[in-house]
Chains A and B, each alone.
Chain A
Amino acid sequence: MEHIRMPKVENVWLVDRSSSRRTQVGTLYLTATHTIFVGKGSEDRNELWVLHSLVCNVVKHKASQSGYPLLIHCKNFQVIQFIFPQESDCHDVYISLSRLSRPEKYEELYCFSFNPNVGKAEREHSWDFLDLKAEYSRMGLPNKLWHVTPINREYRVCDTYPADLFVPKSVTLPVIVGSSKFRSRGRFPTLSYYCKENHATICRSSQPLSGFSARCLEDEQMLQAIMKSNPGSRFMYVVDTRPKLNAMANRAAGKGYENEDNYCNIKFQFIGIENIHVMRNSQQKLIEVSALRSPSMGEFLTGLENSDWLRHIKSIMEAGLFISKAVAEEGVSVLVHCSDGWDRTAQVCSVASVLLDPYYRTLKGLMVLFEKDWVSFGHRFSHRCGHLIGEAKEVSPVIDQFLECIWQLMEQFPCAFEYNEKFLISIHNHIYSCHYGNFICNSQKERKDLCIKEKTHSIWPHLWENKLDFMNPLFKPDQSQNQGLLRPSTAPYCFKYWRRLYNRFDRELHPRQSELDSLMTVKEETQQLEEELALYEQKMAVLDKEHAKTLYMQKGVLDSKQALWSLPLDTSLANTPQDYISGFIGGAPNVFTLQQGERESAEVCLYGDKTKSSDADNSDQESGVADFSSHSSGEESLPSEESVKDPDSDETGPNRA
Chain B
Amino acid sequence: MEFAELIKTPRVDGVVLHRPFMPTVEGTLCLTGHHLILSSRQDNTEELWLLHANIDSIEKRFVGSLGTIIVKCKDLRVIQLDIPGMEECLNIASSIEALSTLDSVSLMYPFFYRPLFEVIEDGWQLFVPEEAFKDLESMTDEWRLSEVNKDFSVCPSYPSLLTVPKDIDDESLCKAASFRHGGRFPVLSYYHKKNGMVMMRAAQPLTGTNGRRCKEDEKLINATLCAGKRGYIIDTRTIAVAQQAKARGGGFEQEANYAQWRRIHKAIERSNVLQEGLIKLVEACNDQSHSMDRWLSKLEASNWQSNVKEILTTACLAAQCIDREGASVLVHGTEGTDSTLQVTSLAQIILDPACRTIRGFEALIEREWLQAGHPFQQRCAQSAYSNGKPRSEAPVFLLFLDCVWQILRQFPCSFQFNENFLIMLFEHAYASQFGTFLGNSVAERLKLLLSQKTVSLWSWVNRPQELERFLNPLYEPNNLVIWPSVAPQSLLLWEGVFLRWNRSTKCLDEAYQEMVHIIEYNKELQNKVNSLRRQLAQLETEDGPLQTP
Chain A residues with a Cβ under 8 A of chain B: 290, 294-302, 304-305, 308, 310-311, 314, 412-416, 473-474, 476, 479-481, 489-497, 499, 502-503, 506, 508-515, 518-519, 522-523, 525-526, 529-530, 532-533, 536-537, 539-540, 543, 545, 548-549, 551-552, 555, 558, 562-563, 565-566, 568-569, 571, 574-578, 580-581, 584-585, 595-597, 599-600, 603-604, 607, 611, 614, 618
* Assembly CA distance A10 to B316 (angstroms): 39
- With A513-B410, A581-B313 as contacts: A492 and B518 at CB distance below 8 Å: no
B412 touches A545 (CB 8 A): no
* Assembly CA distance A223 to B290 (angstroms): 34
Among B296, B324, B546, B547, contact of A585 (Cβ-Cβ < 8 Å): B324
- With A414-B507, A474-B515, A493-B493 as contacts: A536 and B262 at CB distance below 8 Å: no
Report A-chain residues with C-beta under 8 Å of the C-beta of B476.
Answer: 563, 565-566, 569
* Assembly CA distance A499 to B410 (angstroms): 13
A545 touches B293 (CB 8 A): no
Among A569, A578, A607, contact of B413 (Cβ-Cβ < 8 Å): A569
B324 touches A493 (CB 8 A): no
- With A536-B536, A551-B536 as contacts: A413 and B262 at CB distance below 8 Å: no
* Assembly CA distance A574 to B482 (angstroms): 5
Interface residues of B in 362-416 (CB under 8 A from A): 409-414
* Assembly CA distance A506 to B518 (angstroms): 30
A305 touches B300 (CB 8 A): yes
Report A-chain residues with C-beta under 8 Å of the C-beta of B412.
Answer: 511, 513-515, 518
B537 touches A566 (CB 8 A): no
Distance of B298 from chain A, by nearest CB (Å): 9
Chain B residues with a Cβ under 8 A of chain A: 230, 239, 255, 262-266, 285, 290-297, 299-300, 303, 305-306, 308-309, 313-314, 316-317, 319-321, 323-326, 409-414, 474, 476, 478, 480-493, 495, 499, 502-504, 506-508, 510-511, 514-515, 518-519, 521-522, 525-526, 528-529, 532-533, 535-537, 539-540, 546-547
Report B-chain residues with C-beta under 8 Å of the C-beta of A529.
Answer: 522, 525-526, 529
Among A301, A473, A510, contact of B305 (Cβ-Cβ < 8 Å): A301
Distance of A551 from chain B, by nearest CB (Å): 6
Distance of A519 from chain B, by nearest CB (Å): 6
Among B239, B291, B489, B492, contact of A290 (Cβ-Cβ < 8 Å): B489
Report B-chain residues with C-beta under 8 Å of the C-beta of A595.
Answer: 239, 264-265
- With A302-B300, A574-B478, A575-B480 as contacts: A581 and B264 at CB distance below 8 Å: yes
A480 touches B510 (CB 8 A): yes
Distance of B8 from chain A, by nearest CB (Å): 39
* Assembly CA distance A532 to B292 (angstroms): 52
B487 touches A575 (CB 8 A): no
Report A-chain residues with C-beta under 8 Å of the C-beta of B504.
Answer: 489
B535 touches A540 (CB 8 A): yes
A575 touches B522 (CB 8 A): no
Report A-chain residues with C-beta under 8 Å of the C-beta of B503.
Answer: 489, 491, 494
Report A-chain residues with C-beta under 8 Å of the C-beta of B299.
Answer: 301, 493
**Which are the 5 A-B pairs with shortest beta-carbon distances?**
A566-B476, A492-B295, A300-B488, A414-B511, A305-B296
Residue contacts A-B, CB under 8 angstroms, 11 given: A297-B306, A305-B297, A496-B492, A508-B487, A512-B483, A555-B533, A562-B526, A569-B478, A577-B323, A578-B487, A585-B324
A525 touches B522 (CB 8 A): yes
Report A-chain residues with C-beta under 8 Å of the C-beta of B410.
Answer: 511-513
Report B-chain residues with C-beta under 8 Å of the C-beta of A481.
Answer: 506-507, 510
Nearest chain B residue, comparing its CB with the CB of A577: B483
Nearest chain A residue, comparing its CB with the CB of B309: A297
Report A-chain residues with C-beta under 8 Å of the C-beta of B528.
Answer: 533
Distance of A344 from chain B, by nearest CB (Å): 18
Report A-chain residues with C-beta under 8 Å of the C-beta of B489.
Answer: 290, 300, 497, 499, 502-503, 506, 509
* Assembly CA distance A474 to B510 (angstroms): 9
Q: A558-B526, A565-B476, A577-B324 are in contact. List 19 more A-B contacts (CB 8 A).
A: A295-B487, A298-B303, A301-B296, A308-B293, A415-B514, A476-B514, A492-B290, A492-B296, A493-B495, A499-B490, A522-B519, A533-B532, A540-B532, A543-B547, A569-B413, A577-B323, A581-B264, A600-B255, A607-B230
* Assembly CA distance A651 to B532 (angstroms): 49
Report A-chain residues with C-beta under 8 Å of the C-beta of B532.
Answer: 533, 536-537, 540
* Assembly CA distance A19 to B297 (angstroms): 30
A526 touches B521 (CB 8 A): yes
Report B-chain residues with C-beta under 8 Å of the C-beta of A545.
Answer: 539-540, 546-547
Report A-chain residues with C-beta under 8 Å of the C-beta of B521.
Answer: 526
A513 touches B414 (CB 8 A): yes
A614 touches B313 (CB 8 A): no
Among A295, A495, A533, A618, contact of B488 (Cβ-Cβ < 8 Å): A295
A614 touches B290 (CB 8 A): no
Report A-chain residues with C-beta under 8 Å of the C-beta of B255.
Answer: 597, 599-600
Nearest chain A residue, comparing its CB with the CB of B296: A305
* Assembly CA distance A569 to B306 (angstroms): 28
A580 touches B316 (CB 8 A): yes
Report A-chain residues with C-beta under 8 Å of the C-beta of B323.
Answer: 577
A511 touches B294 (CB 8 A): no
Nearest chain A residue, comparing its CB with the CB of B316: A580
- With A298-B300, A529-B526, A536-B532 as contacts: A581 and B317 at CB distance below 8 Å: yes
* Assembly CA distance A530 to B532 (angstroms): 12
Among A474, A509, A515, A607, contact of B487 (Cβ-Cβ < 8 Å): A509
B511 touches A314 (CB 8 A): no
Report A-chain residues with C-beta under 8 Å of the C-beta of B525.
Answer: 526, 529-530, 533
Q: Of residues B266, B409, B526, which shows the largest number of chain A Cβ atoms within 10 Å of its Cβ?
A: B526
Report A-chain residues with C-beta under 8 Å of the C-beta of B305.
Answer: 297, 301
* Assembly CA distance A503 to B547 (angstroms): 65
* Assembly CA distance A543 to B514 (angstroms): 36
Report B-chain residues with C-beta under 8 Å of the C-beta of A566.
Answer: 413, 476, 478
* Assembly CA distance A614 to B230 (angstroms): 15
A305 touches B285 (CB 8 A): no
Nearest chain B residue, comparing its CB with the CB of A299: B488
Distance of A647 from chain B, by nearest CB (Å): 30
A575 touches B483 (CB 8 A): yes
Distance of B244 from chain A, by nearest CB (Å): 16
Distance of A229 from chain B, by nearest CB (Å): 34
- With A414-B511, A515-B474 as contacts: A314 and B483 at CB distance below 8 Å: no
Distance of A602 from chain B, by nearest CB (Å): 11
Q: Of residues A290, A297, A532, which shows the largest number of chain B Cβ atoms within 10 Å of its Cβ?
A: A297
B413 touches A314 (CB 8 A): no
B293 touches A415 (CB 8 A): no
* Assembly CA distance A401 to B230 (angstroms): 53
Report A-chain residues with C-beta under 8 Å of the C-beta of B508.
Answer: 414
A493 touches B295 (CB 8 A): yes
Nearest chain B residue, comparing its CB with the CB of A497: B489
Report B-chain residues with C-beta under 8 Å of the C-beta of A512.
Answer: 410-411, 482-484
Q: Of residues A481, A529, A549, which shows the largest number of chain B Cβ atoms within 10 Å of its Cβ?
A: A529
Report B-chain residues with C-beta under 8 Å of the C-beta of A585.
Answer: 320-321, 324-325
Report B-chain residues with C-beta under 8 Å of the C-beta of A578.
Answer: 316, 483, 485-487
A526 touches B522 (CB 8 A): yes
- With A474-B511, A512-B482, A536-B529 as contacts: A548 and B296 at CB distance below 8 Å: no
A413 touches B518 (CB 8 A): no
Q: Of residues A493, A497, A509, A578, which shows the largest number of chain B Cβ atoms within 10 Å of its Cβ?
A: A493
- With A298-B306, A494-B503, A536-B532 as contacts: A513 and B300 at CB distance below 8 Å: no
A540 touches B536 (CB 8 A): yes
Report A-chain residues with C-beta under 8 Å of the C-beta of B484.
Answer: 512
B263 touches A596 (CB 8 A): yes
Report A-chain residues with C-beta under 8 Å of the C-beta of B486.
Answer: 578, 580
A415 touches B262 (CB 8 A): no
* Assembly CA distance A295 to B313 (angstroms): 13
* Assembly CA distance A581 to B199 (angstroms): 19
* Assembly CA distance A491 to B285 (angstroms): 10
* Assembly CA distance A549 to B537 (angstroms): 8
Report B-chain residues with C-beta under 8 Å of the C-beta of A600.
Answer: 255, 262
* Assembly CA distance A304 to B299 (angstroms): 11
Report B-chain residues with C-beta under 8 Å of the C-beta of A415.
Answer: 507, 510-511, 514
